[in-house]
Chains A and B, each alone.
Chain A
């Protein structure tokens, strides 16, 4: 079946550093990928929509200069958390939409747990 891979699966960084998270579609091409954030005991919240070859669109309240998204190819989107602080600690999850099967459900990665000290 369709697989979405995220890397790294977990990361611990010092406050003030920038962290890059990768989301790859392994056996399909994705013109659209989505980034979510999930705080402990809460549900997933959509942060932004990543569009191949164009700018990402961000949900209300999500700072685009804080969370940089790059979708340079049909199989890779990256989320960079810039100047990360402890309040950015969360579980970040991506999903991807199959370009050739747009009516199929979105496929999710296994998430990246980010801890900022």
Chain B
């Protein structure tokens, strides 16, 4: 799986949009970008994934650059409950292997 780089931590004010960047410059053509988050003392929660088009669901939006070397996860209206570690993972879609987690970004939502 391709390696990803994320900032170790970010702050965001409650009610504002949280934009979390991820660099994946060695991504292969058949690899998707997945985002998970882990709230303290819980298991990871799937957020969203995409291949090359921008994606949106009820939790977040995913913006992938045209060259696919980076992406941004957007939480449109952050709440205190969005405080968590966010992991960007690149892997082949439907892959049968376990996930490789980097260090992620610790997002802290400030009241």
Binding site for B on A (CB under 8 A): 4, 6, 32, 34, 36, 43-46, 49, 91, 93, 95, 97, 102-103, 105-111, 113
Task: Name the one of B41, B43, B46, B99 contacting A109, with C-beta atoms under 8 angstroms.
Answer: B43
In the complex, which residues of chain B have a beta carbon less than 8 angstroms from the beta carbon of A97? Answer: 96
- B42:A44 contact, CB within 8 angstroms: no
In the complex, which residues of chain A have a beta carbon less than 8 angstroms from the beta carbon of B100? Answer: 46
User: What's the least CB distance linking B108 to chain A, in Å?
Assistant: 15
11 contacts between A and B (CB under 8 A): A32-B96, A44-B99, A44-B101, A93-B44, A95-B99, A107-B46, A108-B46, A109-B43, A110-B43, A111-B42, A111-B43
- A46:B41 contact, CB within 8 angstroms: no
Nearest A residue to B44 by beta-carbon distance? A108
* Distance, CA A78 to CA B104, complexed state (A): 28
- B93:A103 contact, CB within 8 angstroms: yes
- B104:A46 contact, CB within 8 angstroms: no
In the complex, which residues of chain A have a beta carbon less than 8 angstroms from the beta carbon of B99? Answer: 34, 44, 46, 95, 106
User: What's the least CB distance linking A92 to chain B, in Å?
Assistant: 10
In the complex, which residues of chain B have a beta carbon less than 8 angstroms from the beta carbon of A34? Answer: 98-99
Nearest A residue to B102 by beta-carbon distance? A43
Nearest B residue to A105 by beta-carbon distance? B46
Nearest A residue to B43 by beta-carbon distance? A108
User: What's the least CB distance linking A89 to chain B, in Å?
Assistant: 14
Task: Name the one of B43, B97, B101 contacting A43, with C-beta atoms under 8 angstroms.
Answer: B101
Listed residue (B36, B42, B94, B98) with the most chain A CB atoms within 10 angstroms of its CB: B98
* Distance, CA A36 to CA B44, complexed state (A): 11
Task: Name the one of B45, B102, B103 contacting A108, with C-beta atoms under 8 angstroms.
Answer: B45
- A105:B34 contact, CB within 8 angstroms: yes
- A102:B96 contact, CB within 8 angstroms: yes
- In order of increasing CB-CB distance, the 10 nearest A-B pairs are A108-B43, A103-B94, A46-B98, A34-B98, A105-B46, A43-B101, A44-B101, A110-B43, A108-B44, A111-B43
